[in-house]
């Protein structure tokens, strides 16, 4: 049994996320977690809400609530939506937790003792009209590298170049739109990432199995232009983790907080500690996942995230871990994703364009969305959600292939052979061929899942569903029962067992439908069908089954047209 640690990028607190956010991190991470649990491995799957920084303060002000209250409420909202999508976190934490406060301050103190933090007096952008220093993400202007006119103060989304706010041409406040900005002097702490470049480069170069998308982004940030830069890790804000050296005040840093991109990844560790606390366990319970000297040496750690988060997880967070000199676990495999676009354009949180997670669940159950998103995951390139494609995929894959097979088999079996697995008959050449094909397909599917090839795994799973339909059509038990009733019983016995196998294999993708299939088969044995010859006979003769409710309904043209219009505009 392996020990598998999984983290997905933690969603920001200011509002409900759209489907592009979901498929870029949490959903494929959940797929992998469910699969590894099914394989019998010990899994720790951690996520949280990312709660610090100016966006949280502004969202709370807009809602007319204290920022701490707003974050607590939105955490509960996001946690409930995650449950709706059946995201199987072992813990869904909060970056504002006391655990994260203490760990973040600990790392800062250790880095300082190791000579990797320096104080920098610098000029930062102050908005006179807003009456505040502007964090880099709240300044926009023209990128000096590519000319994109909506580059942010920390990064250009067009060319991905890392920027400082003072690099921007014609900067403006994104809070008020004001250009009445000036530079004022302030003092901040910088993590000396350049001093760690050789270690970071050697570590990245050692990851020869990482996706090309991950390594190409990491090396671009490491080497392009001026190369890796030292990075500010504090901000002039009120909401956040106070700047301290461990448990001691940091002279000259009074009233400042740590930068959200410094403290947020540390929440992966803190969230695991929160899990231990919530379960009444001691520190050894979480340290065995994160401390190499406490048992984490035999852990394999996987991260899942969108490509925009890759630089911080391949450079900044590893710089914190490596720079500490302490035996913390580093990520072993970082699975990154491109963007999911929406119906000819982009998802837009500010404009409400696209389908948001709460809206999706109000239209259709989570399995419909899980299947489409995972089977169209933006792995090798950006993908696009269109309502036409969504309708076609649901109707064909889920309703016509899987749902139709389950319905036809169980209804025929009940009406012609009774409500128990039939006993008579032996498998013939057609059944023997199906079993061989099924065994090969399950092996291919398992390999794809182990390799985190999400779209390929979906293709293999659908092929297994198709095997059942094609067999049923070719075997035609409704005709055979009239001429050779014993063989018809063997055919249905195989088909009922195939439903159970399909439930087990489908559970990582569509857990609710999988449970419905398994319940209908009267089974609670979720053993992965490694030995197909045993699995195809797991439901013995005389075992009771039932006819499940329709697993999936079809999406009508009228619904598609209505939804397409409803989600094209401004979210109210």
466-503 tens-digit pLDDT: 999 999 999 999 999 999 999 999 999 999 999 999 99
Q: Looking at the predicted structure, is the pLDDT value of residue 157 above 90?
A: no
Q: Which phi and psi (to 5°) does residue 362 adopt? A: -75, -15
Last residue of a domain, one of 308, 337, 366: 337
Measured CA to CA in angstroms, residue 374 lies from 363, 377, 390 at distances of 18, 5, 12
For 96-101, which contacts have Cβ atoms below 8 Å and span 24 or more sequence positions?
96/51, 96/52, 96/68, 96/71, 97/267, 97/270, 97/271, 97/274, 99/270, 99/271, 99/273, 99/274, 99/277, 100/241, 100/263, 100/266, 100/267, 100/270, 100/271, 101/241, 101/242
Measured CA to CA in angstroms, residue 149 lies from 152, 158, 351 at distances of 9, 9, 19
> 389 and 326, same structural domain?
no
Distance separating alpha carbons of residues 104 and 258, to the nearest angstrom: 8
> 101 and 202, same structural domain?
yes
Q: Is residue 221 part of a domain?
A: no
Burial status of residue 567 (CB atoms within 10 A of its CB: 0-12, 13-18, 19 or more): buried
Please give the angle made by the CA atoms of 370, 372 and 377, to the nearest 5 degrees. 90
Number of domains composing the chain: 2
Distance separating alpha carbons of residues 526 and 73, to the nearest angstrom: 36
165-187 tens-digit pLDDT: 889 999 999 888 999 999 899 99
In order, the DSSP letters of 149-165 are: TTEESSB-TTT--B--G
Write the CATH number for 506.
1.10.730.10
Q: Nearest CA to 318 among 243, 242, 272, 266?
A: 266
Please give the angle made by the CA atoms of 531, 534 and 535, to the nearest 5 degrees. 80
Q: Is residue 485 part of a domain?
A: yes
Q: Is residue 7 part of a domain?
A: yes
- Average of pLDDT values for 130-145? 87
* pLDDT classification of 569: cutoffs 50, 70, 90: low
The set of residues, in sequence order, having a beta carbon less than 8 Å from that of 563 and lying 6+ positions away, is 355, 363, 387
Q: CB–CB of 331/323 below 8 Å? A: no
- Average of pLDDT values for 354-360? 95
* Predicted pLDDT at 572: 41
> 311 and 202, same structural domain?
yes
Measured CA to CA in angstroms, residue 223 lies from 58, 151, 167, 228 at distances of 35, 21, 19, 6
> 272 and 398, same structural domain?
no
Residue 54 annotated as part of some ligand binding site? no
> 401 and 333, same structural domain?
no
110-125 tens-digit pLDDT: 999 999 999 999 888 8
Beta pairing, strands 117-127 & 132-133: antiparallel
Last residue of a domain, one of 318, 337, 356: 337
* pLDDT classification of 224: cutoffs 50, 70, 90: confident
Q: Which domain holds residue 400?
A: 384-535
For the chain, what is the mean pLDDT? Answer: 94
> 399 and 332, same structural domain?
no
> 62 and 6, same structural domain?
yes
538-551 tens-digit pLDDT: 999 999 999 999 99
Write the CATH number for 84.
3.40.50.620
Q: Is the dihedral of CA 391, 392, 396, 402 positive or negative?
A: negative
> 82 and 17, same structural domain?
yes
Q: Nearest CA to 82 among 43, 121, 25?
A: 25
> 322 and 202, same structural domain?
yes
Which residues pair with residue 299 across a beta bridge?
A: 3
Q: Is residue 284 part of a domain?
A: yes
> 399 and 488, same structural domain?
yes
* Predicted pLDDT at 570: 54
Q: Nearest CA to 93 among 296, 258, 255, 270?
A: 270
Measured CA to CA in angstroms, residue 453 lies from 214, 306, 327, 402 at distances of 14, 15, 31, 21
Please report how many Cα atoms fall inside a 13 Å half-sphere around the Cα of residue 365, on the Cβ side: 12
Residue 159 annotated as part of some ligand binding site? yes
Q: Nearest CA to 153 among 125, 184, 177?
A: 125
Residue 349 annotated as part of some ligand binding site? yes
Q: Is residue 302 part of a domain?
A: yes
For 410-413, which contacts have Cβ atoms below 8 Å and span 24 or more sequence positions?
410/496, 410/499, 410/520, 410/545, 410/546, 410/547, 410/548, 411/547, 412/477, 412/478, 412/492, 413/492, 413/495, 413/496, 413/545
Residue 143 annotated as part of some ligand binding site? yes
Q: Nearest CA to 499 among 481, 480, 519, 473?
A: 519
Burial status of residue 439 (CB atoms within 10 A of its CB: 0-12, 13-18, 19 or more): middle
Q: Is the dihedral of CA 101, 103, 106, 108 positive or negative?
A: negative
Distance separating alpha carbons of residues 151 and 145, to the nearest angstrom: 10
364-377 tens-digit pLDDT: 999 999 999 999 99
* Predicted pLDDT at 373: 98
Q: Is residue 508 part of a domain?
A: yes
> 526 and 420, same structural domain?
yes
Largest pairwise CA distance in the chain? 91
* pLDDT classification of 349: cutoffs 50, 70, 90: confident
Measured CA to CA in angstroms, residue 484 lies from 56, 425, 475, 517, 541 at distances of 70, 9, 12, 28, 18
* pLDDT classification of 62: cutoffs 50, 70, 90: confident
* Predicted pLDDT at 70: 97
Residue 71 annotated as part of some ligand binding site? no
* Percent helix, strand and coil across the chain, each to the nearest 5: 50, 15, 35
For 75-79, which contacts have Cβ atoms below 8 Å and span 24 or more sequence positions?
75/13, 75/49, 75/51, 77/16, 78/11, 78/13, 78/16, 78/17, 78/49, 79/49
* Predicted pLDDT at 571: 44
Q: Is residue 486 part of a domain?
A: yes
Q: Looking at the predicted structure, is the pLDDT value of residue 356 above 70?
A: yes
Helices and strands, number each (H, E), in the chain:
23, 18
- Judged by average pLDDT, the poorest of 338-352, 464-478, 523-537 is 338-352
> 300 and 390, same structural domain?
no
Q: Is residue 510 part of a domain?
A: yes
């Amino acid at each position: 049994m392996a020990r598998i640690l999984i983290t997905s990028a933690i969603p920001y607190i200011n509002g409900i996320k759209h489907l592009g956010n979901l498929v870029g991190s949490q959903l494929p991470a959940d797929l992998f977690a469910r699969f590894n649990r099914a394989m019998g491995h010990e899994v720790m799957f951690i996520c949280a809400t990312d709660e610090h920084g100016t966006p949280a303060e502004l969202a709370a002000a807009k809602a007319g609530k204290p920022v701490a209250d707003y974050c607590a409420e939105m955490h509960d909202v996001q946690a409930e939506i995650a449950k709706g999508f059946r995201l199987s976190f072992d813990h869904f934490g909060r970056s504002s937790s006391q655990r994260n406060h203490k760990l973040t301050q600990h790392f800062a103190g250790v880095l300082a003792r190791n000579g990797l933090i320096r104080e920098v007096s610098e000029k930062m952008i102050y908005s006179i009209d807003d009456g505040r220093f502007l964090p880099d993400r709240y300044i926009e202007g023209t990128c000096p590298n590519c000319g994109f006119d909506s580059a942010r103060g920390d990064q250009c989304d067009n060319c991905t170049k890392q920027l400082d706010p003072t690099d921007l041409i014609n900067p403006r406040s994104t809070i008020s739109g004001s250009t009445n900005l000036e530079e004022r002097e302030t003092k901040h702490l910088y993590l000396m990432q350049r001093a760690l470049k050789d270690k970071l480069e050697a570590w990245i170069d050692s990851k020869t199995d990482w996706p090309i998308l991950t390594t190409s982004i990491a090396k671009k940030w490491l080497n392009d232009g001026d190369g890796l830069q030292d990075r500010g890790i504090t901000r002039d804000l009120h909401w956040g983790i106070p700047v301290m050296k461990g448990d001691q005040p940091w002279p000259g840093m009074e009233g400042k907080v740590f930068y959200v991109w410094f403290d947020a990844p540390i929440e992966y560790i803190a969230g695991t500690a929160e899990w231990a606390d919530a379960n009444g366990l001691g520190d050894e319970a979480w340290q065995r996942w994160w401390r190499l000297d406490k048992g984490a040496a035999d852990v394999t750690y996987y991260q899942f995230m969108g490509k925009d988060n890759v630089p911080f997880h391949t450079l900044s967070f590893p710089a914190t871990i490596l720079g500490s000199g302490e035996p913390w676990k580093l990520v072993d495999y970082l699975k990154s994703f491109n963007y999911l676009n929406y119906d000819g354009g982009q998802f837009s949180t500010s404009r409400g364009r696209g389908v948001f997670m709460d809206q999706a669940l109000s239209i259709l159950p989570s399995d419909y969305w899980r299947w489409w998103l995972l089977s169209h995951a933006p792995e090798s390139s950006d993908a696009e959600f269109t309502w036409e494609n969504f309708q076609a995929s649901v109707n064909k894959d889920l309703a016509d292939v899987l749902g139709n097979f389950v319905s036809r088999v169980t209804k025929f079996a009940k009406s012609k052979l009774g409500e128990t697995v039939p006993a008579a008959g032996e498998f013939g050449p057609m059944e023997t061929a199906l079993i061989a094909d099924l065994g090969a397909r399950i092996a291919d599917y398992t390999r794809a899942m182990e390799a985190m090839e999400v779209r390929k795994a979906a293709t293999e799973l659908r092929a297994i569903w198709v095997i059942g339909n094609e067999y049923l059509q070719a075997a035609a038990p409704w005709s055979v029962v009239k001429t050779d009733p014993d063989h018809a019983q063997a055919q249905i016995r195989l088909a009922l067992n195939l439903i159970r196998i399909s439930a087990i294999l489908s559970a990582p993708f569509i857990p609710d439908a999988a449970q419905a299939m398994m319940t209908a088969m009267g089974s609670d044995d979720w053993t992965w069908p490694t030995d197909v010859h045993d699995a195809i006979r797991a439901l013995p003769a005389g075992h009771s089954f039932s006819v499940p409710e329709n697993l999936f309904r079809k999406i009508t043209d009228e619904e598609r047209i209505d939804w397409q219009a409803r989600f094209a505009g401004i979210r109210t």
